[in-house]
Chain A
């Protein structure tokens, strides 16, 4: 879907991005992560030609991006940024309808699409359609920003630290919603962040960048288990990597069917993460938990030994 082949970007003497190759498959959630100034935004903005690459090739669905006019290319991709960039003199409705109107959709279709998106992103149409950006909270503004990026139903979504300015609770809510949205709409997403927890939570493909180069890429679990070098290991959380991995795995991954023993008193729901299960064990001083389904019916059990992945039969 998106292919970067030996791409380099120089600003004068300085090399911002050096010889990176990256392929993002259709429907894949790709997260670029790294410390500030490592070239994440530059990489993202080369994909929609806000920045022209200096060397190498960038392809979208097999076609060189230089084959398109910049504007044409950008109208085909959603773009959301940390500061939202909502137009302060336009209402929410008009902001969301921007790209469809640039594409000359008929007014009625734009209106329908805007309402559809506002509903999708949990913005009550009656309440928000006529509001101006300065009347919105940070979280609401960012929802509008995401709705605007999705407006013309692009296959590709580029997001540059879209949740970076939000409080942790709002951020987590929006991360979960974005994941759900992605599972439903099957967009190809390239997402930039410097927050490793956010990256691990969202990514199908995690790309660790450092000083303009890609240090390692792959599934988050693969990187956590086998970081290529000390830098990647420490960026991924160093000694905390065990907990970060546990936060990616559901309890159902390690639970065993209910055994002959007494059912344990403390419970955990099956789609909780192993990290949450571990926390319950620590909190309750319990070495065994009963795993329950959504109706609170016991369906299995999880021991500390199983949780930590010891290959024993207990």
Chain B
């Protein structure tokens, strides 16, 4: 009986990891085996000299892409969750509308425009795209953290204070755990969007999976564009399914 149960629990856990694993394998296979598909891309671009992007290794581009999105994501989480937590404290309430508004503006501002403005200040390379991604990714995180914390039953907060919890204990033991699923959903949206948005970094010299796309557009080589797009798509699906897996953990 117990064995049967653990066995079933085991396979269920296995099944939940299935989607991320499949997407990851496809992504790696695509990175490593793009050259093998030369015949296929030749059909798309019969006239071009080269049909498989070869200026850099796809794995290296993938690594750089992940790095940019990862750093921008971490910064956005730090700033976004931090700001949302600060304005839900008794002392910071006055700034709540301001912060909510600023985050919205961050997202309505096109990342391309941010890049254009950032390059003169920060120079070419990775830095401007990280700035653009942080700004662009803040809104879902701030919005969801606010919603998650504000959505907690006021009775729970009153009881926590009435029992003698300090502000810090209330935040760490009650508010953040209860808001976690909503916050995680915000991070998922933010990161997934930014995986696609990061591609524009290639226009300012941040080499990542956007390179083949930009290069394809510039040289009129649709095969390059396709290769970049497929890899970015697979990366987004991998990361998104990882988040889905995290979110499906039983949350009380």
Q: Is the interface of A mostly helix, strand, loop or mixed?
A: mixed
Closest residue of chain B to A158, judged by CB? B162
Q: Across the interface, do B163 and A75 meet the contact criterion of CB distance under 8 Å?
A: yes
Q: Which chain B residues numbered 151 to 193 have a C-beta less than 8 Å away from chain A?
A: 153-166, 169, 174, 177-178
Q: Is the CB of A83 within 8 A of B155?
A: yes
Q: Is the CB of A74 within 8 A of B252?
A: no
Q: Please, which residues of chain B bring their CB within 8 A of the CB of A75?
A: 163-164
- From known contacts A89-B177, A89-B178, A89-B252, infer whether A83 and B163 are also in contact, taking CB-CB under 8 Å: no
Q: Considering the chains assembled together, what is the distance between the CA atoms of A247 and B152 in angstroms?
A: 42
Q: What's the Cα separation between A82 and B162 when bound, in Å?
A: 13
Inter-chain contacts of A84 with B (CB < 8 A): 155, 159
Residues of B within 8 A of A71 (CB): 164-166
A88 in contact (CB, < 8 A) = yes
Contact with B along A6-41 (1 / 0, CB 8 A): 000000000000000000000000000000000000
User: Per-residue 0/1 for A36-76: is the Cβ within 8 Å of any B Cβ (1 yes, 0 no)?
Assistant: 00000000010010100000000000000000001111110
Contact assessment for A83 and B153 in the assembled complex, using a CB-CB cutoff below 8 Å: yes
- Given the known inter-chain contacts A83-B153, A85-B156, A89-B177, please indicate yes or no for A102 contacting B164, CB distance below 8 A: yes
Residues from chain B with a CB closer than 8 A to the CB of A73 are 164
What is the CA–CA distance of A86 and B160 in the complex, to the nearest angstrom?
A: 9
In contact, B156 and A88 (Cβ under 8 angstroms): yes
Q: In A171-191, which residues have CB < 8 Å from any B CB? A: none
- Verify A88–B159 contact, CB threshold 8 A: no
Measured between alpha carbons, how far is A155 from B169 in the docked complex, in Å? 24
> Which residues from chain B contact A79 at a C-beta distance below 8 Å?
159, 162-163
Contact A98 B155 (CB under 8 A): no
Interface size on A, residues (CB 8 A): 27
- Which residues of B are found within 8 Å of A128, using beta-carbon distances? none
Do residues B166 and A81 form an inter-chain contact, with CB atoms below 8 A? no
- A105 contacts B by Cβ under 8 Å: no
Closest to B152 in A: A88
Tell me the smallest distance from the CB of B49 to a CB of chain A, in Å.
Answer: 61
Q: Enumerate A132-158 residues with CB–CB distance to B below 8 Å.
A: 132, 145, 148, 158
Q: A79-B159, A89-B177, A102-B169 are in contact. Are A132 and B252 (CB under 8 A)?
A: yes
Among A75, A83, A87, max chain B CB count under 10 A is at A87
- Complex CA–CA separation, A50 to B162 (angstroms): 7
Asked whether any CB of chain B lies closer than 8 Å to the CB of A269, the reply is no
Q: How many residues of B contact A (CB 8 A)?
A: 20
Q: How far is the CB of B214 from chain A (nearest CB, A)?
A: 46
Flag whether A99 is at the interface (Cβ < 8 A): yes
CA–CA, A79 to B162, complex, Å? 6
The listed residue (A45, A82, A102) touching B163 by CB distance below 8 A is A102
- The A79-111 residues at the B interface (CB cut-off 8 A) are 79, 81-90, 98-99, 102
Fill in one digit per residue for B221-252: 1 if any A CB lies within 8 Å of its CB, else 0. 00000000000000000000000000000011
Instruction: Find chain A residues with CB under 8 A from B156 CB.
Output: 85-88
Contacts of B163 in A (CB 8 A): 74-75, 79, 98-99, 102, 148
- Taking CB atoms, residues of chain A closer than 8 Å to B165 are 71, 98, 102
Partner of B161, one of A72, A74, A145: A74
Instruction: Decide: B164 and A99 in contact? CB cutoff 8 A.
Output: yes
* Cβ–Cβ contact A72 & B159, under 8 A: no
Q: Chain A residue with minimal CB distance to B159?
A: A85
Residues of A close to B154: CB separation below 8 A: 83
Q: Nearest residue in A to B165 (C-beta to C-beta)?
A: A102
Nearest Cβ on chain A to B231's Cβ, whole angstroms: 39
A2 to B191, CA, bound (A): 55
Whether B158 lies near A81 (C-beta < 8 A) is yes
Q: Which residues of B contact A81 (CB under 8 A)?
A: 155, 158-159, 162
Contact of B178 among A85, A88, A145 (CB under 8 A): A88
Chain A residue with Cβ nearest B157: A85
Residues of A within 8 A of B158 (CB): 50, 81, 85
Cβ–Cβ < 8 Å partners of A88 in chain B:
153, 156, 178, 252
Q: B166: nearest residue on chain A (CB-CB)? A: A71
CB distance from B151 to the nearest CB of A (A): 12
The interface of chain A, by Cβ under 8 A from chain B, is: 45, 48, 50, 70-75, 79, 81-90, 98-99, 102, 132, 145, 148, 158
- 21 residue pairs A–B, Cβ–Cβ below 8 Å: A50-B161, A50-B162, A70-B164, A74-B161, A75-B163, A79-B162, A83-B153, A83-B155, A85-B153, A85-B159, A86-B159, A87-B156, A87-B174, A88-B153, A88-B156, A89-B177, A89-B251, A102-B165, A102-B169, A132-B252, A145-B159
Lowest 9 A-B CB distances belong to which pairs? A85-B159, A83-B155, A75-B164, A79-B162, A74-B164, A85-B155, A89-B252, A71-B164, A85-B156
